[in-house]
Amino acid sequence: MPDTLKGRHVLVTAGPTREPIDPVRFISNHSSGKQGYAIAAACAALGARVTLVAGPTALDDPDGVETVHIETARDMLAAVEQALPADVFIAVAAVADWRPAQPSDRKLKLDKASFSSLPLVENPDILKTISQMNAGRPGLVIGFAAETHDVEALAIAKRARKGCDWIVANDVSGDVMGGAENAVLLVTRVGSEAWERAEKSKIAGLLAARIASAL
């Protein structure tokens, strides 16, 4: 299926975000970025022009992909909006839901007073923001859902709540985060289908092929 995405711009987010508490501490998560990077590479292999907006990872930039490196959720949203317009937006990144309201410019001393009541504010919802754009919305918006239970029900509810077209859901209660393999459930407007556990690169290829057939 070479060049089946030729002429299309695919915008992908990947990895975690980091929300600073002070100059040495931050709020983040265990996302390795492997699945998002693999999806970016798979779309590029089908001829797409791919922009990858990536949080901090230990991965090399994929060949043939324009990679933009960011730290925070607000940085990621700004980079995504800067990269638009796009034909497809795939929100794979594990974005921090909350950030410290007032990051300290000095290292906080390790005492209960500093951390027992750390004020937090909500981060922008990148998937919902792009899904609900009035003008310039990508034709296909895909979100990811990392769940530990009730995967299908929560994925269906998330797709409706965010307003995206598809949700790719996975159960992260085992070794998926940071691992080389994944098993996912694809939820669309017409139903859902389970994809067997496989290398993340294979999952990425299946998703890229499905995207090409949908456009």
Catalytically annotated residues: 29
- Give the distance, in angstroms, between the CA of residue 82 and the centroid of all CA atoms in the same chain: 16
Nearest residue to 16 via CA among 168, 175, 123:
123
- Partner residues linked to 51 by β-bridges: 11, 66
Token digits of residue 183: 């098993």
- Give the distance, in angstroms, between the CA of residue 31 and the centroid of all CA atoms in the same chain: 10
Residue pair 123/73 in contact by the 8 Å Cβ criterion: yes
DSSP annotation of 215 reads: -
- 94 φ/ψ angles, rounded to the nearest 5 degrees: -95, 90
Cα-Cα end-to-end distance for the chain: 14
